[in-house]
Amino acid sequence: MWYIVLAKDKPGTLSQRLQSRPEHLARLHELCAQGRLKIAGPMPAVDDENPGDAGFSGSMLVVSFESIEQARKWVDADPYFLAGVYQDAEIYPYKPVLP
Which domains are seen in the chain, by residue range? 2-94 (3.30.70.1060)
Q: What is the model's pLDDT at position 63? A: 98
* % helix, strand, coil for the chain, step of 5: 35, 35, 30
Which helix (H) or strand (E) segment is 26 a member of? helix 14-33
Q: Which of 75, 72, 93, 70 is nearest to 85 (CA)?
A: 75
Is 47 within 8 Å of 22 (Cβ atoms)?
no
Is 93 within 8 Å of 3 (Cβ atoms)?
yes
This prediction's pTM: 0.94
Summarize pLDDT for 21-80 with one digit per residue, the tens.
999 999 999 999 999 999 999 999 999 999 999 999 999 999 999 999 999 999 999 999
